[in-house]
Structure 1
């Protein structure tokens, strides 16, 4: 697992053993998102990566839907945001390959 469950539970202020599979899933998703965004493998030794992953886990755990009845606006870190780092980006001129 990418993040220790005890650290996730402490971050979320969970005092019981509920939702272990869900927390593990959110931790794996967060680690993959951080790795895709940075272009570097996720490491639990990197405090910035761990904190970012904990913020993502907390957001996903507390807001399990893309929108809520209270707010019709899309919540941050939705599907678009999660998949955005995986997209290939074209940011400049790319010449056509030369014909042989």
Structure 2
């Protein structure tokens, strides 16, 4: 289920009938959903308020700052996105030892 367009427009303080940027907002919504899913290791769930808020913050950031880094801000992500998702992020360990094989026969 994609992010509700009305909620995205409300988050950006758009008027309810402002639809000129709907295509780019839908694209940014898809990117935000994919990023949240990739970061957490979980499927994006718009009913999860943490995932939803992080996605809204990412969309707003992408809409307002269409370049990865600007001279005004060296941050690539809006402050707080990773903090919102830290509690639900799957922990991935890089090393898993092989089970020991018994040679006793």
| TM norm. shorter chain > 0.5 | yes
Query: How many residues get paired?
Result: 83
Q: How does 1:35-54 map to 2 (within 5 A)?
A: 35-54=37-56
Structure 1, unaligned stretches of length 5 or more?
78-88, 96-100
Residues 74 and 3 of structure 1: CA distance in aligned 2, closer, same or farther (over 3 Å): same
Residue 28 of structure 1 is aligned with which of 30, 49, 53? 30
Runs of 4+ with >3 A deviation = 89-95
Write the mapping of 1:51-70 to structure 2, written as runs, cut at 5 A: 51-68=53-70, 70=71
Aligned-residue RMSD, C-alpha: 2.3
Structure 2 residue runs of 5 or longer lacking an equivalent are 78-91, 99-105
1:2-30 Cα offsets, whole Å, 9 max, x none, are 20100000000011112111000000000
Aligned to 1:14: 14
SS at match of 1:18: coil
Q: How far 1:75 sits from its partner (Å)? A: 3.5
